[in-house]
Structure formats: C-alpha cells, structure tokens
Amino acid sequence: MLKKRIIPSLLLDNRRLVKTIKFKEKKYIGDPLNAIKIFNEKFVDELIILDINSNKSKFGIDYEFLKDLFSECFVPVTYGGGISTVEEADKIFKLGVEKVSLNSSVLQNKKILNNFVKKFGSQSIVINIDIKKNFFNEYKVFNNKLNKIEKKLDLINYIKELEDIGVGEILINSVDNDGTMNGMNLELIEKTCKIVNL
C-alpha cells in the first residue's frame, strides 16, 4: 500500500500568499514565510510553491524573493510559475529546489519539454495541468495564462504525450473545485490515474 504523503500547495501573488476560488477571487491569507515556517514545524513531506502571477507580470520570476523563501524550507520544494527556459529553471534549481513545475510554457510548445528532461532528468520535472469542464461537461485542459479552455487539445492524448516525453510527475488542478472546500474531484483523479503510470 502506498504511503500517504502530505504536500501543501502555496499560491503566491506579488510576494503574498493567496487563496483562489475557481482560479479567480484572489484572497490574501498571509505571509508566505510564516506559512513555510508553520509547515516545517508540522513535518509535511514536501511543499509546492506556485507563483500564479509571474506569467502575467512584466518583471517575470522574482529570484531574490524566492531565494529568501527557499532558505526557510526544510522539506523538498517544487516551484512553478513563469518558467519557460532551461536557463530560468537552472537558476531556480541553484536556489535549492528539488523540482520545477511547468505549465503554460509547455502548452505553448511541447517540444521544449525535451530540453528540460534532458538537462535536469525526469525526476526533477513536474507538469502542472489545470483542468476544467466545458459546456458539454467534458474535462478539458485550461490555459490559465490565456484564461481559456484549450478546445483543440485532447486531455487524454496530452497526458500520454507528457508521459512519453519523460516527465517525472503530473500535478492535476481541478479549476472547478479550486478553493470551494467541496473536497477533491475524485472522478477526475480516477480518470487521470487510469491514463498514466506516473
């Protein structure tokens, strides 16, 4: 039986910790440094830190702030947000993270994923997929950067392609359940787990 692991996911927006509801209505909930200290004390297995604003910010990745954040983490960290080149990922790894999470950059160009896997290894690459139901109640890939459903992208084929390229993990986000406090989308978990062996 697989051991249960506790992996909190923290959302950053302009150096603030926020909570969203269905990827909207950003609500400030505190200082990320304090949250990290609390999770260190609770002995969580890992932390996922996602900067939900870095893709939309003209300033890009805030390396100085991340350096301060990661220096407080005493558990493995996965970071995602605004990473679109191997050079950016390399800078992030040098700050002390275990894994990087990619999303929008891979949606724009799946071919770049080969470069990340080749440079850092499969075990270091997480693909973050935001999934939302469309008008016909079908699960579709949601492009958060463009704030739209990718109508031409088949979810099952996309996930299989990512596995074939060699990513280490896939992180599934249910847009419809995000922040609603209604529990996990078990149907989506079951559907995606049947597709891959990751």
Pull the structure tokens for residue 132.
């939302």
Residue of 130, 154, 164, 178 with catalytic role: 130
130 is catalytic: yes
Pull the structure tokens for residue 82.
């605004």
- Interstrand relation of 16-21 and 24-30 (parallel, antiparallel or unpaired): antiparallel
Q: Which residues are catalytic?
A: 130
